[in-house]
Each structure stands twice: as structure tokens, then as C-alpha cells.
Amino acid sequence: MKYLIRRREMVVFLAVLFISAVIYLNNHNFLRLENIIDILKANTVLGIMAMGMLLVIIMGGIDVSVGAILAAVTVLIGNFMLTWSDNIILIFLIGGLCGATLGMINGILIAELKIPPIVLTLGTMSIINGCILYFSKGVYINNLPHSFTEFGRLTLFRIPVGNGVMVGFPVQIVFFLTAAILTWIILKFTLIGRGIYAMGGNPDSAVRIGYNRDRITIFLYSYMGFMVGLAAVVYTSIIGLVGANNFSGVMLQVIAVVVLGGTNILGGAGTVFGTAMGVFLMAIINNGLVLMHIPAYWQKIVAGMVIIIVASIDVIQRKHSERELNKVDL
């Protein structure tokens, strides 16, 4: 039991159960299958991006340009569909490639210029946002192809919930599960996954045993961008609208769910399961606020508080570990 409590992702899992029970006592509609599926669908975009951010934070980095990349890819694929093709496979390929390219630029600049990631990505965020406004002229596209918007409403199968009512299982959830499985494979079974943990825990030691910091950095930010690109296609298919939106709040949410799920904000620790639990915990908190008619701005307040509290815990734990190591050395 003590082992489970020490693992923060298990604490988050227990928190999910506890908060779900509390919200259910206030509103019995919360645990209806329709509501659970709506919660999952509404947070697939956040979950997909969180899987990319997980790797970046484990290595000790950060990417605050994810909102700008998300906006850039939505504008790109929107114009592509109107001008060239509405083939859904091609759109996903272009979205992923565009996101990966922007992420790779971040990675290369961080690796070559040795600029702190938060500073570098703040700069690229501003540049990307400016380019979006310039090329889009601030015009929204609301006449996306019917086949694409139909994809956003696609359900793989239907689940009976009684009284002849059927609830569809959205295709978007499959994309989140695929992103989670791919990220888990990278962390669990690949050399680069071991390098990510090593770099986040002790960069100097990792370099000495042969890990290439620059290559791993470029891969991580490219992967982050790729996940944002896929998320952009999923997001656009759901809302059926493209525009030069300001997604700055998305960055806050993505970082919040990753650190909430047990990923050390200072690097070196984190799991896919924990991040998934972080996404779901933040989702049910936000959904609970809506069901209890609490103003939406509390969602941002909660996200900010989560980052501050969890980051403080990480710093305290690391200082405690360092003191314990010093005692052993003495």
C-alpha cells in the first residue's frame, strides 16, 4: 500500500475515483455512459498533445509553442482541403508532417543554439502566431468539406444504454489510444526511451555513457510537433471550423495534465498511464464544474494551481532526495 501511495499516478487514479464519486453525489448524470464518452471525446485533443509533452518534460524540457503549432496546422489543412483535396488520410499525413516540421525546428534550434527550451519556444510561438495572422488575414473558414466534418461525427460502434437508446463510440478516442500506445512503446522498449529518462535524471552521466543529447532533443520536439499536428486534424474535424485562434490556454492545460499525472516537472520521471490519468482527472474536474454551474474561468485557475502545487512538490522531493544522498556520502 505504501508503494502505491508513493507512486503519484496511483494517487491520481484514486483521486479520479474520489472526485467522480463526489460529483456523482451532486449530479447523478455524471456517470451516465453518454457523459463519460462525451468527456473522453472532448479531451482527446488534449490527451494526444499530452503524450508528446510527456516525453519532452521527462527529458527536462518544455514546449510552450504547442498552441501556436496547433493553430498553424488547422489553418494549413483548412486551406489545403478547400484548394486541393479532402482525402482524410492525406490530411492526417500533411497535418502530422507540418507539426513535426515545426517541432523539429524547435528541436534543432534548442540543440544547436543551447537556448533554454522555454525561451526558445516562447520565441517560435510568437513567430508562428504572427505568420498565421499574416497568411490567414484573420479570416475564418467555415465551409469545410462535408466528408471531413462527417468524419468528426464518425462512431465506430454503438453501445445500448437502455430504453432503445444507443451511444456511439467516437473515432477520436481511438486516436488518443493510438498516441498513448505509441508513446508507451517508445518509452518502454526503445533505446531512445531509455535515453529520455537518462537525460532527464542526470544529463552529464547520460552523455558519458553514450547518449546523444542533441539527437534526442530533436527527436522529442519533432515527436511533440507530430502529436500536435494529429491533434489539430482531430480538433478541426470536431468543430468544423478553421481560424487564426489563440490557443495559448491549450499549452497551460497540456503541461498541467502531464505534471498532474506524476511526471516530474524537473525531468527524469513520468509514465503514459499517469499522464492518461492526469488528462482524465482534469477532464472530470472541468466537467464537474460545468455540471455544478461553476463559471468556466475556474478551469484555467485550477490548471494554474495544479502546475504550481505539483511543481512545488517536485522541488521539495528532489531537495529531500539530495539531502538523503548527502547523508549517505557523509
Looking at the structure of the chain, the number of domains it has is: 1
Phi, psi of 29 (to 5 degrees): -75, -15
Tell me how far the alpha carbon of residue 200 is from its chain's centroid: 19
Q: Would residue 192 count as lying in a domain?
A: yes
Q: Would residue 93 count as lying in a domain?
A: yes
Q: Would residue 14 count as lying in a domain?
A: no
Q: Would residue 248 count as lying in a domain?
A: yes
d(CA 260, CA 254): 10
Please spell the DSSP secondary structure of 208-269, one letter per residue. HTT--HHHHHHHHHHHHHHHHHHHHHHHHHHH--B-----HHHHHHHHHHHHHTT--TTSS-
Phi, psi of 87 (to 5 degrees): -65, 120
Long-range CB pairs of 214-217, under 8 A, 24+ apart, other chains included? 214/111, 214/112, 215/111, 216/59, 216/192, 217/59, 217/61, 217/107, 217/110, 217/111
Which residue type sits at 19? I
pLDDT reported for residue 325: 56
pLDDT reported for residue 97: 96
Q: Would residue 29 count as lying in a domain?
A: no
Q: Would residue 1 count as lying in a domain?
A: no
Q: Would residue 213 count as lying in a domain?
A: yes
d(CA 257, CA 53): 10
Q: Would residue 61 count as lying in a domain?
A: yes
- The domain in which residue 214 lies consists of 42-274
pLDDT reported for residue 3: 47
d(CA 286, CA 284): 5
pLDDT reported for residue 5: 40
Q: Over its length of 330 residues, how does the chain's per-residue pLDDT go in tens digits?
A: 444 444 667 777 887 888 888 888 877 777 788 888 888 888 999 999 999 999 999 999 999 999 999 999 999 998 888 888 778 899 999 999 999 999 999 999 999 999 999 999 999 999 998 988 888 777 777 888 888 888 878 787 777 766 667 777 888 899 999 999 999 999 999 999 999 999 988 888 888 888 899 999 999 999 999 999 999 999 998 888 887 776 767 888 899 899 888 888 888 888 999 999 889 888 888 777 777 777 767 767 776 776 677 667 666 766 766 666 566 555
pLDDT reported for residue 170: 86
Global confidence as pTM: 0.87
